[in-house]
Structure 1
Amino acid sequence: MSLISEETVRGSKPVFRELSAEDEEQQQPTSIESLCMNCYKNGVTRLLLTKIPFFKEIIVSSFTCEDCNWTNTDIQSAGRICDQGVCYTLKISSKEDLNREVVKADSATTRIPEVDFEIPAFTQKGALSTVEGLIDRAIAGLKQDQPIRKVTDPDVAEQIENFVKKLEKLKDVSTPFTLIIDDPSGNSFIESPCAPHTDEALTVTQYQRTVQQDKDLGLVADDLVTEEETATDKSGNTIEDLRNEVLQFNTNCPECNAPATTNMKLVQIPHFKEVVIMATNCDACGHRTNEVKSGGATEPLGTRITLRITDPSDMTRDLLKSETCRVIIPELEFELGMAVLGGKFTTLEGLLNDIKELIVEKNPFTAGDSTTPERSKKLQEFGKQIQEVIAGRLLVHFVLDDPAGNSYLQNVYAPDQDPEMKIERYERTFEQNEELGINDMQTENY
């Protein structure tokens, strides 16, 4: 049964609408007759597709049985699964760190190695909380059946009681500890109060999901498609035959989740290499997005491109930022990590505007109850500095550091050397190879 009518999909309003008291035409819940798991008679389930401001799309479900008066409510995530998984490692050394806001998806695994504590994936519903809130939630879950355990199994009850004391002691932060949130869906998040500057206590690692993780998320079937099958389309044409065509495939809008179409094209960048450009345009909400992925292999050496911005005309330089590339502006103490903003084929001005929009305008922790005057002022000041760079009034160094070697910045003096641009090739570290998945990659005798 389809829960979304064609009028909703084709209309101008998004499928997932934000809850608002000013909206006179609020989306009404969908009622479905369903089985009561308490008395096995029929009850009613009501579903509401909505969106939490500054968070994500959700499905709110509520079940009521008139025969036995049993009720149940649940919230399920309806957000888009990211292209890569994410692992946050936070070193907690002060009580201020306990107040960091955390978005924990239900697919995330939470660990505190110092006390051998772990919450496996899909054992808890997603939550928007703080570090202290996650600890309190774990303590409440462990204490839930303690009265029964003390009667039926006193030894286990005593062990749990001792472990709860360890968790409660963590909130005193008398000894530093580590919080790890590993989410293959990429939808979890830990706040960085130092943003947009580097947070020394927080490490964010993007990684490629394993086949098993894709299966757990429901992205692939148990029987994987072979490499030969993916090399051809339904007509038997090879990818080589499709290089001059614009390919289309069905997807969902990342903003309102309505059905949309993504266009894909292979493009050759002069003096560089081939890339894949993908663009999505949603007819329902008007949202547009584009992304660029490298069409070639990982280079033997990493690439670091440093441009000294000396003139406003530098803003017109073409730029390719791959999803493995970091962006650094040393004078502003700014660093944009790998996979943030995804792959981009734009100009230098376009990328700086995207960074400003991400950090200042679309940051969920700069609005509502999540913000503080000090943090908001700091981010607004950073936005003004970026605008000064774009206008050419603030001269800085712009660095693209790509361990995969798939990023590019236009040399306006080509084929001569650019006096303001420095390109360095370097050997990747073991940690960088680990992030790219190269250490475990076997291409011979497999």
Structure 2
Amino acid sequence: MTHKQTYLKLYSSLKDRLERLSADNPIELALLVFFAALLLVVSLSIPYYSASFYENVLVESHGMLLDLLIIGVFVYWLDSLGDKKREMRRYQEEIDDYLNWQSHEATYRIIGNVRRLNRENVTEIHLENAYLPQANLITVILDGANLQGASLPEANLQQARLVNADLRGACLQGANLSKANLRGAKLQGASHWESSALELFLNEAKAHLKVTDLQGANLREAVLANANLRGTNLQGVDLWNADLEGANLHRANLRGASLWEADLRASELQSANLQRANLRSANLRAANLKEADLQSARLQRADLQSAELSGAKLQKARLQEANLQHANLQRAYLHGANLRNAILDEAQLAGVRYNRETRWPDTFDPDQAGAIFDDDSSLDPINGPASNSTLATNGKTAI
């Protein structure tokens, strides 16, 4: 074997060794290169060393100690960040493992990992198709989370933050969303128990969406300002003190809903079904209730100033002490309605129909205001024909 072949073989062997180290143990390779360079530099520099050289080395060594301390702290910080990232990735991976698994164990494990991620300020959690019935999710923060197709029947989401969360196709039947913040949430797609396709546009979101059925949901004090809930099924929903200012509820089904003290200023409620709804002390100033069905609705002390109520069905509605200043009630139906102590200053009542059971404020003359006595048209679609047991004098109900 010639010297050239020997050198080539040595070079090839060294190259293979370096490649293996680079792949298997890069730190060992770095140390090997460092010590090789150190040996080369020191061996070539020995003839030139002097006393002053060693003094300079000692000075540099002291500076190097500080450098090592700073670098060590920095490396430790980076390593701790890496540990935290790995830990959060593990939590999300555990959640992913339990998605689509319909068992109580899966529910508990998902909830636990969600809360751990929340402690690390992680909110954009992937929970698509998660099985979370009756889950205790009080105060959880799921801003921007993916909850598409999640099963959340009777889940407790009180005070939860779901800002910009994706809840399209989620099952929320009977869920408690008291004080929950749903600003910008996406709720597209009908639930498996309801076939209705409904649109939602929460808090000026950029895309038109379809909402799940929220029948019976608890939305007490929920923020739904400017929401487009057109045609939404909100039957029996608890919206006590909810913010629905400027909301679009055109043709929405709010039958039996609780809207006590709700803010509905300038809301769109044309042709909405509000039969038996509780609107006591609600703020409906400048709301559009044209042709809305308010039969047997409770509107005591409601603020209806400048509201549009033309053609509205108010049979047997309770309007005691309601403020109807400047309201437009033309062609509305007030058969059996109770307007005792209501404020009707400058209200438009031309063509309003009432019967002997209608109760007006003391000293108020409905005929002079343009109302029409229509005792033969007192049919109530809810309870059938109105009773004629109460006597009337001059078109007013006698007490």
> How high is the TM-score relative to the length of structure 1?
0.18
> How high is the TM-score relative to the length of structure 2?
0.20
| Richer in strand (by share) | 1
Greater relative CO (CA pairs within 8 A, separation 6+): 1
